[in-house]
Amino acid sequence: MEIRISQRVAATPPYPFAEIDAKVRALRERGVDVVDFGVGDPTSPTPDFVVAAVAEAARARATAGYPAYEGDPDYRAAAAEYIRREFGVALDPDREVASTAGSKEAVFHFPLGFVDGGDVVICPTPGYPPYKNGTRFAGGVPYFVPLLEENDFLIDYDAIPEDVCRRAKVIWTNYPNSPTGKVAPGEWLEGLLKWARQYGIIVAADEGCYHEVYFGKRPASVLEVGREGVIVFYSLSKRNNMTCYRVGFVAGDERIISVYKKVKTNVDSGTPTFIQDAAAAALRDRDHAAQMREEYRAKRRVMLTALANAALPPCQSEATFYLWQKAPAGMSGVDLAGKLLEIGVVTTPGEWITDATAEGVNPGRDFVRFALVPPAVQVEAAAARLAVLDFRKR
């Protein structure tokens, strides 16, 4: 029997990070001692107090049945407390907060609530792949806006053509930004909301994945500027090394949250309640996030020094655990990633995680991404290997 798959799946390329995983596996099978800066998955352990909270909650919830779709009341309260503590914004945990199975699920399914066939969703490039893939699976059309060095890696919303603005339902933003490390200034956020409201475009701000991994000024939230027409996405994955727990939350305009909840009740049955209990404990703790930030700060310093010593172009990163490193003149990101692979250093070529814009600009072509997730000793080892490269001598 012929298995006929949907056009939607047939048109979707393999998930880029699955390809990187396969490459790393193949190198390791060949005995290469690899330092893997490819996929942004932390290698440090989930904190003990979170693991203990799961064990305790699993026992306490032994007869709990299905989780609440929108999140346990205590978890939603912890999320609202978190937003108030971080940004001074008071949210109603019943109406303005919902739990997610991590941001990937929420980002991917979000357009199902708002996008009809042919509607436009504005997506940054480089950008997290579910922005565009979720849009396409919902029948929408991504319009790619480039994050360019000359624009300080901010979306130039004023440059988006009028007809696109009129057809757009949603704009995805992601600051602190993966992979450029850019933090959005307050005045940019204010301008964004003003621009979006003029066209009735929902601002879907994927701001809470790396919000606590910053090295200068603390990043602001879009919620500090306003909540009408806004939804923000937060995740415990990177904040507390909880990628395998699959838990996060969304917050914002209750009209948007209620539609998200309606979609979600049809998609899954909620994050296991004992995981939400542990996530609530994690959100209420500040020390662990501060400790993680210092670990990333140290690794970042080591790598930035090594990259500068190798005479690579200066690399800006104000936040996140990514470095968006430009290739030297005359080399593409793919070339640079290839050179690094020769010394067992795995990175992601920028163009693997970027899409060309309607004008044919691919903003990732000249870059590679480092995810500073290997343990500190491996980062030191990679820095030592980089010492053999000197791009002045090419």
Ligand X SMILES: Cc1ncc(COP(=O)(O)O)c(C=O)c1O
In the complex, the smallest distance separating the C-beta of residue 106 from ligand X, rounded to whole angstroms, is 8
Q: Which residue, 125 or 178, is less far from ligand X as judged by CB? A: 178
Q: Which residue, 183 or 209, is less far from ligand X as judged by CB? A: 209
Residue 220, Cβ neighbours under 10 Å: how many? 20
Q: Which residue, 128 or 153, is less far from ligand X as judged by CB? A: 128
Q: Which residue, 248 or 363, is less far from ligand X as judged by CB? A: 248
In the complex, the smallest distance separating the C-beta of residue 185 from ligand X, rounded to whole angstroms, is 19
CA atoms lying within 13 Å on the CB side of residue 252: 29
Which residues, at least 6 apart from 137, have a Cβ–Cβ distance to it below 8 Å? 8, 108, 111, 112
114 binds ligand X (CB under 6 A): no
Measured distance between the N- and C-terminal CA atoms of the chain, rounded to whole angstroms: 55
| Span from 44-52, 66-74, 97-105, 377-385 in contact with ligand X (CB under 6 A) | 97-105
350 binds ligand X (CB under 6 A): no
140 binds ligand X (CB under 6 A): no
Write b or e for each residue in 127-155: b if 16 or more Cβ atoms lie within 10 A of its Cβ, otherwise e.
bbbbbbbbbbbbebbbbbbbbeeeeebbb
Q: According to CB under 6 A, which residues from 208 to 237 bind ligand X?
A: 209, 235, 237
317 binds ligand X (CB under 6 A): no
In the complex, the smallest distance separating the C-beta of residue 140 from ligand X, rounded to whole angstroms, is 19
Q: Which residue, 93 or 179, is less far from ligand X as judged by CB? A: 179
Q: According to CB under 6 A, which residues from 27 to 46 bind ligand X?
A: 40
Which residues, at least 6 apart from 174, have a Cβ–Cβ distance to it below 8 Å? 124, 127, 128, 131, 205, 206, 207, 209
One-letter amino acid for residue 232 of the chain = V
- Name which of 354, 124, 122, 322 is nearest 209 in CA terms: 322
206 binds ligand X (CB under 6 A): yes
Q: Which residue, 91 or 204, is less far from ligand X as judged by CB? A: 204
138 binds ligand X (CB under 6 A): no
Q: Which residue, 165 or 353, is less far from ligand X as judged by CB? A: 353
354 binds ligand X (CB under 6 A): no
371 binds ligand X (CB under 6 A): no
103 binds ligand X (CB under 6 A): yes
In the complex, the smallest distance separating the C-beta of residue 152 from ligand X, rounded to whole angstroms, is 18
Q: Which residue, 209 or 372, is less far from ligand X as judged by CB? A: 209
Q: Under DSSP, is residue 99 helix (H, G, I), strand (E, B) or coil?
A: strand
In the complex, the smallest distance separating the C-beta of residue 178 from ligand X, rounded to whole angstroms, is 4
For the packed helices 48-60 and 273-284, what is the interaxial angle rounded to 10 degrees?
140
Residue with tokens 């800006």: 316
Residues in binding contact with ligand X, number by CB under 6 A: 13
Distance (Å, rounded) from C-alpha 204 to C-alpha 299? Answer: 31
Instruction: List the one residue from 71, 93, 226, 248 that touches ligand X (CB under 6 A).
Output: 248
Q: Which residue, 36 or 339, is less far from ligand X as judged by CB? A: 36
CA atoms lying within 13 Å on the CB side of residue 82: 30
Q: Which residue, 130 or 333, is less far from ligand X as judged by CB? A: 130
| Angle, CA of 230, 127 and 132, to the nearest 5° | 75
Q: According to CB under 6 A, which residues from 151 to 180 bind ligand X?
A: 174, 178
Residue 324, Cβ neighbours under 10 Å: how many? 25
Q: What are phi and psi of 141, to 5 degrees?
A: -125, 120
271 binds ligand X (CB under 6 A): no
Alpha helices in the chain (DSSP H): 7-10, 16-29, 48-60, 73-87, 103-109, 130-137, 162-167, 186-199, 254-267, 273-284, 287-309, 333-342, 376-386
Q: Hey, what are 303's tokens? A: 């790598």
| Span from 84-92, 99-107, 117-125, 188-196 in contact with ligand X (CB under 6 A) | 99-107
| Span from 56-64, 100-108, 115-123, 273-281 in contact with ligand X (CB under 6 A) | 100-108
Task: Catalog residues that contact ligand X under the rule CB under 6 A.
Answer: 40, 102-104, 128, 174, 178, 206, 209, 235, 237, 243, 248
